[in-house]
Every structure is written in C-alpha cells, then in structure tokens.
Amino acid sequence: MSESAVETRLLDAAAQELAARREAWRRVDVDERIALIDELSRGFARIAARWAESVLELEGLDPERPEAGEEWLVGPYLVLRYLHCLRRALVGVRDTGRPRIPGPITTRPDGQVVARVFPETIWDRLFYPGVAAEVWMHPHVTLDDLPRTQARCYHDLESPGRTCLVLGGGNVSSIGPLDALTKLFLDDRVVLFKLHPVNSFLAPLFEEAMAPLIDRGFLRIVVGGVAEGAHLCRHPLVDEIHVTGAEETYLAIVFGTGEDGARRRAEGRPLIEKPVTGELGNVSPVLVVPGAWSRRDLAYQATNIVSMLVNNAGFNCNAARVIVQHAGWSGRSALLDAIRHRLAATPTRRAYYPGAFERHRTFVEAHPEAERFGDPASDELPWTLIPGVPSDARDEICFEVEAFCGLVAETTLEAPDVESYLQRAVAFCNDTLYGSLNVTLVVDRETARHPRLGRAVERAVADLRYGTVCVNHWAALGFALGITPWGAYPGNEPHAPGSGIGVVHNALMFEEVEKAVIRTRFRAFPYPPWFVDHRSAHRLCAELTEFEARPSWARLPRVTWHALRA
C-alpha cells in the first residue's frame, strides 16, 4: 500500500473515531469540562519549555537572547492564559448559566451595548496596568437580550453533535490549539485538528498536552499537506471547517481552484455545503493621530510600531502593514526617522515561512524606493520600509495585498485639521485597505483628553470597521487576551470572505459581537515584553509562562524582577 493510501486511511479513521464520540461530548457536563480544563492546564505546563525551544529552533533564535521571549509569550503562555479564562467562564456557566462579565455593561449614545471584559482578575490588573477591553455587541442586541447571547450551546439540548475540522495556522504556534479549544468548549464540537506543515513537528507535544481530550475520543491531531487537508475538507464525517490562512486558501476550500473555482465563486455554487469559518489576514493599519510629541514620545512610538512589524519576523496577520499619518503633522518626518533608527538597530531574522522571499521581491519591485535595513544572511530578509506611498494610488500592492514578511509601508492624508484627518483616515482604512481584522490608533494623552479632539478620536474608534480596534498598542492584544473575540468585522460572505468569517477565543461566549475595543496608555509601564528592545524578555516571558501555569503570590517577585529590568 502506498504511503498516501496509508495516510488517507489514518485520516479516515480519525474522522470515524470522532464521529462516534460527537454525542458523548455533548453529554459531558460542566463540572467534567472544568476538570478537563484543569488536566489540560497541567499538560500544557509540562510541555511549555519543550514547545518554546522547538519553535525557537525553527526560527533560528538563540534561547538566551531577549527576542526568544516572544515564543514563550505567543506559544504556551497564551494557551495557559486562555485555559484559565475558559475555566472561569465555565464556573460561571455552572453557577449562573452563563460566564460572569467582570466589568460594567453600558450602552453608547446610539444604544449599542458594550460589556467591559478586561481586566478580569487581580493578576490582570498587576500584569496589564492601564489596559481595558470592551466587547461591542451587534447593534440589534439590547441590554435585556445580552444574557441570552452568552453560552448558547450550553442551553441548547436539541442540536446534534458535530465534528469540526480545524486547519491550524503555520505562523503562530498557539493558533491551532486555541482554535481547537474554542471549537470544543464554546461551540460544543469534537475536533479534528490538522497542523500546518510548517509547525507539524509540534504534533507529539500537543498530543501529550491534550491527551485528556484525545484519550476520551473528543480530539484527534493529524498532520499533512494540501492533499490531506483537501481530503478532510471533503470528508462526509466532517460537518464544518475552521481555517487560519490566506483568503485564497478559504476560497479554494469553498469553491475550488483555477477557472472552475473562479466560475463557481462568481455563480455562488460552492463545492462543499458545510459551514466554513476562518481568520484570513489583513493589511493592518497603524493610524497615527497628530499631537505635541516629545523626542522620547517619538522614540517610544517608533519602537511600538517596529515591534508590531518584526515580531515573528513579520509573519503575523496582525503585523503593522500601513502607517497612516497626517501630511501636515510636524512630527511625521521625525517619527519616520525614529522608525528607521529602530529598524536599523534590530537584528534581521530567518525568513522561515514559505514564499517570504518571493513576496518581498514583489513588493520591492513595485516600489524600488523601498528602504532596506540590516545585514541579512542568506536565509534572512532585510526589514523594509516603503515611505510616502500615495494614498490615492490605484491598484496599490501595499494597500491591497498582505506582505506577510518584515515589510511596512507609510502613507499620508491631507486634511485641514485633526478632526478632518481622522474622518479621512477612518474612510481610508475602511474602504481602501484590504481586510477588517485589526487596527491600531496611536494618540497621546493630551489629544485624547482635549474636549473636541477626544470626541473625534472616539468617533474614529466607533466608525472603524475592524474586529479589533486597539488604542495605543499593538492590536494583537485582542488575540492574546483570550477573553476578547478575535476575528474579522462581521458581514463577510463566503464568496468575499475578506479577513474571515466568525470569531475565536471569546472566552465569555458572546454570540452577537461586532468588535473588541482595547484601550491602553500612550506609554506603558512596565515596558511591554513584546517590545523589540526589551532587554530581559526571554527571562520575563518564561517566568510569565511559569506563573500562568501555577499562579501564586510567591511567584510574583520573580516576574516583577525581570519586568523591571527591561
């Protein structure tokens, strides 16, 4: 028997085993699920160091260098944090029928319901000072409706069990486990989790950590490439699919490829008649609000923006892609110079993700004025800045295509004042840039507190059509917090999925969300561990992971020590 035939038989067996356990998962009560969460937390704590070390090897990072901290942070730390969020949510479901909302529930002037969801715990307040997160509901949701939009699957006793195929992302190692946990505990599905070929080496570690689910037949983990993924997507025992990847991948799943796929898409004739959700990337904007910034402010925000780019060598769907500035702002050139300085000071990274060199070449051929920084080795790419891209350019690659490497563009908008600029910037982001996943606004404290300008900033926050709007720091916080929903702004359709359909994470189990809004300080303290020049990030992020595995006051001094040595 050929190797491919053996692989197909293994995939079929996994689908059959899950199908046999769909109804059993539906019958697992909340107390049992809480116990499973506790077992999973212990499992992921056991593999945390091996997980981080394995990904550092892939990315060519020295575990004794500060940049190694990011793989602790975006790997085991995020999964352990999410498991704690899920546990608290399930305790709420057990005790009151729904997760407890930790903050006030209010309405905006237009009646839109807003729930403050973060900070949730004393640890949140200590580790994320000055960070607050809200979930804005769909406009049709009322205050009276809100409780009924939480944890619906835990009140639906009639729907049959279903199998969800989770096609994990290859860039961030926690994406797949987080998506699998979302589908299991929020959507009540058994899960067939296929790792991406880039990080399929993690399969044995994930099988070890998630053994409590695997042993009971509620989860299967498989590996493979395009052929194996296509086989599973078409499998009759797979009821729905969730994918993290490019829009092209989603369209290939739903409609097929080539001329036939394009024709099916145009005619609205999908190849598969099953729900397909996904998170599909973004040309992520950083919208800079003019203000009276000091030299230190400029240096700090340059580091902030560069950190949004260079994390994971730029292979993030939420990486900074287009910096939007007021053409007349006196600080524009100084901010660009500070960004150049920080890029030049940042070591280049291995371009480990497939297609990176070709994508980078396509952008710089379209923009020969692109500025390159660093001294890359043969398996690395230079950090790249394309300044001054005309905002009215037609068919502009920087606006319409996600670079997915260490490249960022900058554009400017003409406007007579800050309020007009913000209106134009919101329209530019909403209508010109590809995607609706996440956006960052950078605004200093004085501008935000100014009566007239502050109102303009709040209008911008409300009018931006993005799944996550973050004020002053990287919108990837919306991915990391776990308690906030992560996904595209609602309204996309299978024939035009944009940044995706549906949300994940969302530990409070809201069913009718419009977007998450996260607010942070203009200059954070302690220094954020994801900042590219954090001097002890590798120590701090390892300690944070250890703390998240076993939170206690006794562990706090070690975290504090490394946090203050930034």
pLDDT for the residue numbered 146: 97
Q: Per-residue pLDDT for 5 more than 70?
A: no
What is the residue-wise DSSP string for 165-196? EEE--SSSTTHHHHHHHHHHHTS--EEEEEPP
pLDDT for the residue numbered 3: 58
* 3-class DSSP assignment, residue 440: strand
- Mean pLDDT, to the nearest integer, of 28-37? 98
Q: Which two tokens stand for residue 480?
A: 């990391």
Q: Start-end ranges of CATH 3.40.605.10 in the chain?
A: 3-99+150-244
pLDDT for the residue numbered 7: 83
Question: Is 443 in contact with 472 (CB distance < 8 Å)?
Answer: yes
Q: Per-residue pLDDT for 423 more than 60?
A: yes
* 3-class DSSP assignment, residue 531: coil
- Cα angle 190-155-28, degrees, rounded to a multiple of 5: 40
Long-range contacts of 364-367, Cβ-Cβ distance < 8 Å, separation of 24 or more:
366/397, 367/397, 367/398, 367/409
pLDDT for the residue numbered 377: 96
* 3-class DSSP assignment, residue 394: coil
Which of 319, 473, 532, 531 has its CA nearest to residue 407? 319
ω before 160 within 30° of 0 (cis)?
no
Q: Where do the DSSP E strands lie in 414-512?
A: 438-442, 468-471, 485-487, 500-501, 503-505
pLDDT for the residue numbered 53: 97
CA distance 205 to 224: 16
CATH code of the domain made up of 284-465: 3.40.309.10
CA distance 42 to 28: 20
pLDDT for the residue numbered 99: 98
Could you give the residue ranges of the DSSP H alpha helices within 21-77? 22-26, 30-59, 69-72
- Mean pLDDT, to the nearest integer, of 143-147? 95
Q: Per-residue pLDDT for 6 more than 90?
A: no
- Mean pLDDT, to the nearest integer, of 66-82? 97
pLDDT digits 0-9 by tens, 551-565:
999 999 999 999 888
Q: Which helix (H) or strand (E) holds 516?
A: strand 513-519
pLDDT for the residue numbered 565: 87
- Mean pLDDT, to the nearest integer, of 226-244? 97
Q: Sign (positive/negative) of CA torsion 431, 434, 435, 439?
A: negative
What is the residue-wise DSSP string for 78-123? HHHHHHHHHHHHHHHHHHHSSPPP-S-EEE-TT--EEEEEE--SHH
Q: Per-residue pLDDT for 2 more than 60?
A: no
CATH code of the domain made up of 3-99+150-244: 3.40.605.10
Length in residues, the chain: 566
- Mean pLDDT, to the nearest integer, of 207-215? 99
- pLDDT bin (cut points 50, 70, 90) of residue 279 is very high
CA distance 435 to 404: 14
Question: Is 402 in contact with 435 (CB distance < 8 Å)?
Answer: yes
pLDDT digits 0-9 by tens, 425-484:
999 999 999 999 999 999 999 999 999 999 999 999 999 999 999 999 999 999 999 999
Q: Per-residue pLDDT for 81 more than 80?
A: yes
Q: Start-end ranges of CATH 3.40.309.10 in the chain?
A: 284-465
Which of 164, 96, 105, 177 has its CA nearest to residue 135? 105
CA distance 491 to 484: 19
Roughly what angle, to the nearest 10 degrees, separates helices 295-310 and 332-344?
Answer: 50
Q: Sign (positive/negative) of CA torsion 544, 549, 550, 551?
A: positive
**Taking all residues of the chain, what is their mean pLDDT, rounded to a whole number?**
97
Question: Is 134 in contact with 515 (CB distance < 8 Å)?
Answer: no
CA distance 340 to 414: 23
> The tokens 């004020």 sit on which residue?
471
pLDDT digits 0-9 by tens, 48-57:
999 999 999 9
CA distance 150 to 93: 9
- Mean pLDDT, to the nearest integer, of 324-353? 98
pLDDT for the residue numbered 1: 46
Q: Per-residue pLDDT for 183 more than 90?
A: yes
- Mean pLDDT, to the nearest integer, of 244-260? 96
State percent of the chain over pLDDT 90. 97
Which of 506, 470, 472 has its CA nearest to residue 487? 506
Q: Per-residue pLDDT for 403 more than 60?
A: yes
Residue 468 CA: distances (Å) to CA of 30, 75, 361, 490:
30, 21, 30, 11
